[in-house]
Amino acid sequence: MKIALVAITRHGIVMAGKIVALLHDATLFAPEKFRGEAQAAAPERFACYQGKTGEQIPALFANFDAIVAVVSLGAVVRLIAPHLGSKEHDPAVVVVDEAGKFAIPILSGHLGGANALAGELARSLGAIPVLTTASDSRQTLAVDLLGRELGWVFEATHDELVRASAAVVNDEPVALVQEAGSADWWTRHANGRSGPLPANLRRYDCLEDVDVESYAAVLWISTREMPAGYAARLAGKCVVYRPGNQGMSAPMKIALGIGCDRGTPSSTIALAVGEALASCGAALGDVAVVASIDLKADEAGLLELARANGWKIVFYSAAELAAVDVANPSETVRKHTGTPSVSEAAALLAGAVDKSQLIIEKHRLRGPDGRNATVSIARIAS
């Protein structure tokens, strides 16, 4: 996600600087009168503007996938209200308070990813994510997110999505028919789910087995065309999910590139790895090799994680890593390690592939211990 951080007070800019450091593609925007504070908070990723903050919103909406505002909730509502379009196109908007206690998604929670972003910020800052969407607060199925982390796409009108979503959260009977795709979609459900499926969902293996008139909505996961006669019977209450080849082909094999602060515990690295795998629909069993820079050859947490999972682990010199063409070179990383990339370059070297096979560029996590881990994932050619 391309993210804009907006802060309008000195304390807010300090917090925004912390958030910029947590996010890969984020830029801090602050009033010109606080240029010094903004530069100190995010020296390489800040921009200052003249005039009113409200005048910046159209450009931020047009050029960014998400906006994180360290501004009062009420003020943000007033700032964005004149520019709202649709849930399909508006950017995600998340509010964080100056103390970093709460992360509150207020726009495009599902399709725009605001809920997921709020969850990521909450984990990194030690904050509380304030999720008010019914499916997330009740930990039930979010119709518009089903299979998203596995690459599935849905076919439905706005009204069909609304009707099916209402049926799920209102505990009406819903048929979930899965004829294709990975069976592991629930535990990898976007925003995280645990426990059994909601009681009002009944699973089927074939659409023809369903008495569709008995259900308020039908969620159909399939690669085939709608059977004759079913379009009329399901009109207005069916959402179709298309996995394509997801979960139907041979399991992917991937290489993990990992970078971390010195002394990062295995639990923090494991959490970063788990989030990165989930975001591309991969599993621990898909990992063929793990790699890092030779400076980490004695990193206890990294070695412990590889050993616990039975992963082969390899290390490369700074010179070897520096020779790899990567998507996101960093002069800051070069300053500390001698190479502009650790995780991305290590994943590509270990997988013996080029950057076109990088499916997760840089997933970064700050653990509760305050230490950072970064994970990149490359698909290994079969």
Ranges of each domain in the chain = 3-132, 143-242, 254-379
What is each CA distance from 368 to 121, 126, 222, 254, in whole angstroms? 12, 7, 40, 27
Q: How confident is the model at residue 193 (pLDDT cuts 50, 70, 90)?
A: low
At 192, the pLDDT band (50, 70, 90 cuts) reads low
Number of Cβ within a 10 Å radius of residue 203: 10
Arithmetic mean of pLDDT, 278-283: 71
Q: Answer whether 3-132 and 254-379 agree in fold.
A: no
Q: How confident is the model at residue 343 (pLDDT cuts 50, 70, 90)?
A: very high
pLDDT band at residue 308, thresholds of 50, 70 and 90?
confident
- What pLDDT, on the 0 to 100 scale, is given for residue 315? 96
Flag whether the pTM goes above 0.75: no
Strands 174-178 and 217-221: parallel
Query: Higher pLDDT residue, 200 or 86?
Result: 200
pLDDT number for residue 186: 79
3-state secondary structure of 194: coil
Distance between CA 218 and CA 110 in Å, rounded? Answer: 20
53/76 Cα distance (integer angstroms): 10
For 282-307, letters b (16+ CB in 10 Å) and e give bbeebbebbbbbebbeebebbbebbe
Q: Which residues pair with 373 in a beta bridge?
A: 260, 365
The answer, yes or no, to whether residue 250 has pLDDT greater than 50, is: no
Query: What count of other Cβ atoms lies within 10 Å of the Cβ of residue 331?
Result: 8
Task: Give the torsion sign (CA, 166, 168, 172, 178).
Answer: positive
| Tokens (6 digits) for 35 | 């240029």
Dist CA 152 CA 242 (whole Å): 6
pLDDT in tens, 117-162: 888 888 888 988 887 776 666 667 888 888 877 778 888 887 888 8
Domain 3-132 in CATH 3.40.50.300? The answer is no
Look at residues 334, 353, 270 and name the one whose alpha carbon lies nearest to residue 304. Answer: 270
Q: Inform me whether the pLDDT recorded for 95 exceeds 90.
A: yes
CATH of the structural domain 254-379, one choice from 3.30.420.180, 3.40.50.2000, 1.10.1200.30, 3.40.50.970: 3.30.420.180
Q: What is the rounded distance in angstroms from the CA atom of residue 66 to the CA atom of residue 129?
A: 16
In the structure, what pLDDT confidence band is assigned to residue 218 with cuts at 50, 70 and 90?
very high
The share of the chain scoring above pLDDT 70, in percent, equals 91
Average confidence (pLDDT) over 55-63: 88
**Which residues, in sequence order, are CB contacts of 307 under 8 Å at separation 6+?**
none
Q: Which residues of 339-353 are buried (b: 16+ CB within 10 A; e: fewer)?
A: bbbbbbbbbbbbbeb
Q: Is the pLDDT of residue 67 over 50?
A: yes
Mean of per-residue pLDDT scores for the chain: 87
Whole-number Å distance between alpha carbons of 54 and 57: 6
Can you tell me the distance from the alpha carbon of 373 to that of 258, in angstroms, rounded to the nearest whole number? Answer: 7
